[in-house]
């Protein structure tokens, strides 16, 4: 028998009861909002065919896919010549499946495979783990959860406005008040490239300006030069980059003016303006929402609105992001299905709520009462009481061993169970039980019905 100390694979972690209580609080709060807005839950397998996954995330993404060896003799059929050619030659023969890299590509596959049964527009949310063979570091794991919501089959801007409302509702439920939802539009960035005299180079432009917060304007200028932008174009861009953030209406007015000669740029300004108008028409307002023309996330993927959410004055980066795409399902042979989606970063939200002390008593014990006893007969008597408590919806457990009452009380205290029922010979003979509040020390003896009434009331009004 091996004496090797157990360990976890790098980039993975366990979640104990306290962490799970907090994570479930986050997930249930998000699910509640998704359902309120008409989204239906979907799950896809942990593994997909490698043919589904490869080629969807770029060369770097393909390298980060976890491959699954075929079952049985996976080397059967591999020749010496293929081994000599390296992993690229033998991989298709030894691994036909891989672990899910994200939730978007499996969702696209699902839509294509089920397009005749789905009702469009189709609104789905999905909360599942994904796996990436990345180098583990602080805040980056090889297994982590994604929490996505998408609407496909419509290009209506109502969807974008609803995303803003959902983010606001979730953050309000968490007690978060100091945050910014940055919003931009891919078409505005395309128009900006035209405006500075570099049409068709919006991808290179955006890869560079996306680094503004990290490396500053001077280094971004150098990178633009390296990417082939002429000095005149950079000079034309400089005042736009340095323009101070103002009211959304003022920023929209500024870009409507400078992008007036760009058809696509003007379209982006109009779309963004309509989203903000729809937000207000739906009972929301523009608080926390900021038009950031330098926001440039995932531009090879998105084609319209893009979002990124940051909690201010914390050490964590963005906690949510997304945008509109016009051809999600095209890679699977179903072109021109427009959609818009976004994702909550569950792990980052957890860190934010922990840093800001906003979990409160979320990790409070799920058990309302522990039945304690002085011996085997008393424990047998308590088993019937246990069933009655649970039938009333009172979370209860019985101490399973005949141990000293002090040890049983210590168990309840360590598990943060607020009440204990004490059963001794006196209680058995009188058909009554003693209820003790471990926090206040108060206790009283009464018939079981009265004790149950007290516990039900305390469960409904825990602060009374």
Q: Is 102 annotated as a binding residue?
A: yes
Cα(259)–Cα(251) distance, integer angstroms: 12
Strand order of the β-sheet with 419-423 is 396-398, 369-373, 419-423, 432-437, 443-447
203 is in an annotated binding site: no
Does 146 show up as a binding residue in the annotation? yes
301 in a known ligand binding site: yes
What's the CA gap between 158 and 213, in Å, rounded?
Answer: 30
Q: Which of 372, 435, 434, 368 is nearest to 398 (CA)?
A: 372
302 labelled binding-site residue: yes
Q: How far apart are CA 366 and CA 98, in angstroms?
A: 37
Strand 122-131 with 40-41, pairing: parallel
Adjacency order of strands within the sheet including 97-99:
47-49, 97-99, 67-68
* Cis amide prior to 208 (ω within 30 degrees): no
Is 32 annotated in a binding site? The answer is: no
CA 450 to mean position of chain CA atoms: 44
Residue 103, marked binder? yes
Residues belonging to the binding site for L-histidine are: 102-104, 132, 146, 150, 297, 301-302
Residues belonging to the binding site are: 102-104, 132, 146, 150, 297, 301-302
């Amino acid at each position: 028998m091996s004496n090797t100390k157990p360990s976890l694979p790098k980039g993975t972690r366990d979640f104990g009861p306290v962490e799970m209580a907090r994570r479930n609080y986050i997930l249930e709060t998000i699910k509640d909002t998704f359902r309120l807005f008409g989204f239906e839950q979907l799950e896809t397998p942990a593994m997909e065919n490698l043919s589904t996954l490869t080629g969807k995330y770029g060369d770097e993404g393909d390298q980060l896919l976890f491959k699954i060896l075929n079952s049985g003799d996976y080397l059967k059929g591999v020749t010496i010549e293929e081994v000599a050619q390296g992993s690229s030659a033998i991989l298709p023969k030894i691994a036909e499946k891989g672990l899910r890299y994200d939730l978007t590509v499996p969702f696209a596959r699902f839509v294509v495979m089920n397009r005749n049964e789905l009702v469009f527009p189709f609104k789905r949310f999905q909360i599942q783990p994904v796996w990436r063979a990345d180098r583990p570091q602080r805040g980056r794991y090889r297994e982590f959860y994604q929490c996505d919501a998408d609407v496909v089959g419509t290009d209506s801007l109502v969807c974008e406005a609803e995303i803003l409302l959902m983010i606001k509702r979730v953050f309000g439920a968490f007690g978060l008040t100091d945050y910014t939802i940055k919003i931009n539009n891919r078409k505005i960035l395309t128009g900006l490239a035209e405006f500075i005299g570099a049409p068709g180079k919006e991808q290179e432009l955006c890869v560079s300006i996306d680094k503004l917060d990290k490396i500053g304007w001077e280094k971004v200028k150098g990178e633009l030069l390296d990417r082939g932008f002429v000095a005149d174009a950079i000079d034309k861009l400089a005042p736009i980059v340095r323009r101070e953030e103002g009211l959304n209406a003022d920023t929209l007015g500024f870009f409507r003016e400078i992008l007036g000669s760009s058809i696509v740029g003007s379209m982006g300004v109009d779309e963004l303006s309509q989203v903000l108008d729809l937000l207000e028409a739906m009972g929301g307002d523009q608080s926390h929402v900021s038009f950031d023309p330098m926001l440039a996330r995932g531009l090879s993927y998105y084609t319209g609105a893009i979002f990124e959410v940051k909690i201010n004055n914390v050490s964590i980066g963005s906690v949510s992001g997304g945008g509109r795409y016009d051809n999600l399902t095209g890679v699977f042979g179903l072109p021109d299905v427009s959609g818009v989606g976004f994702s909550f970063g569950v792990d980052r939200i957890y860190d934010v709520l922990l840093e800001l002390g906003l979990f409160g008593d979320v990790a409070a014990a799920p058990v309302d009462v522990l039945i304690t006893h002085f011996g085997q007969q008393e424990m047998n008597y308590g088993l019937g009481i246990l069933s009655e408590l649970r039938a009333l919806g009172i979370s209860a457990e019985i101490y399973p061993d005949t141990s000293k009452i002090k040890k049983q009380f210590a168990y309840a205290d360590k598990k943060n169970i607020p009440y204990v029922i004490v059963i001794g010979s006196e209680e058995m003979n009188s058909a009554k039980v003693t209820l003790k509040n471990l926090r206040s020390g108060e206790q009283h003896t009464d018939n079981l019905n009265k004790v149950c009434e007290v516990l039900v009331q305390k469960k409904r009004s825990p602060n009374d």
